[in-house]
Amino acid sequence: MNIEYNVEIDDLVAFNLYYLNHSPHAQKQISNSIVFYAGISFFLFAMGLLFVKNNLALSIILFALSSSFLLFAISVKPTSKKNIQKHVREINSDVKHNYAGKHVFSITPEYIKDIHESGEVIRHWDIIDNIDTTDQYLFIILKPGSSAFIVPKKAFNDDASFNQFVETAKEYHQSSINSLEAT
């Protein structure tokens, strides 16, 4: 099965946000950051209460510091979208790593082939970690899970064509898993 489409910067950002919200590794990093900065906030606030009873100015400074660490911990995920957009734009400004643009994408029972402006990528199904869909995308996620083939739903004429493509990809992937288990 072959399909031609364009990948826009917004499509790349969409995958990175999907990864941020669905990857156990990314979720653990976010949780660790929140716990770390909340812990620093609590420590600074406690220091202000315990040791600086008579110095109002120092208490206010420690309270402000603890509040800023707490606000940072709370804002880690929302600011990630802006950071992802910036990072994707930086990576795609390098011609060798530019994934945006025209793609000719095909799947066969043996492999996935993606031809784009930066070159040609062929991956066998055994290195595919997962196949996920959203309301706008098909993500064929490679092991260890931080990169993917991105196929926008808008590349298809209708929902039925998109769904057929997804089902075929899942069948090919499952066949690969089954043959690996049989050996």
Task: Give the mean pLDDT per block of 10 residues along the chain (183 residues).
Answer: 90 85 69 72 69 66 70 62 70 64 95 91 93 95 84 96 97 91 76
Q: How many helices (H) and strands (E) does the chain have?
A: 4, 7
Say what the pTM is. 0.70
- Given a contact cutoff of 8 angstroms between Cβ atoms, the answer to whether 146 and 23 are in contact is yes
Tokens of 105: 């994408």
Q: Which of 47, 6, 79 is nearest to 87 (CA)?
A: 79
Tokens of 58: 């120092």
Rounded CA separation 113/118 (Å): 13
What are the residues facing 120 on neighbouring strands?
115
What pLDDT is recorded for position 179? 85
What pLDDT is recorded for position 48? 66
What pLDDT is recorded for position 88? 67
What pLDDT is recorded for position 42? 73
Residue with tokens 């083939």: 149
Q: Which of 178, 181, 135 is nearest to 159 (CA)?
A: 135
What pLDDT is recorded for position 27? 65
Rounded CA separation 12/21 (Å): 14
CA distances from 151 to 40, 105, 167, 168, 172 (A): 42, 8, 14, 14, 16
- Given a contact cutoff of 8 angstroms between Cβ atoms, the answer to whether 103 and 4 are in contact is yes
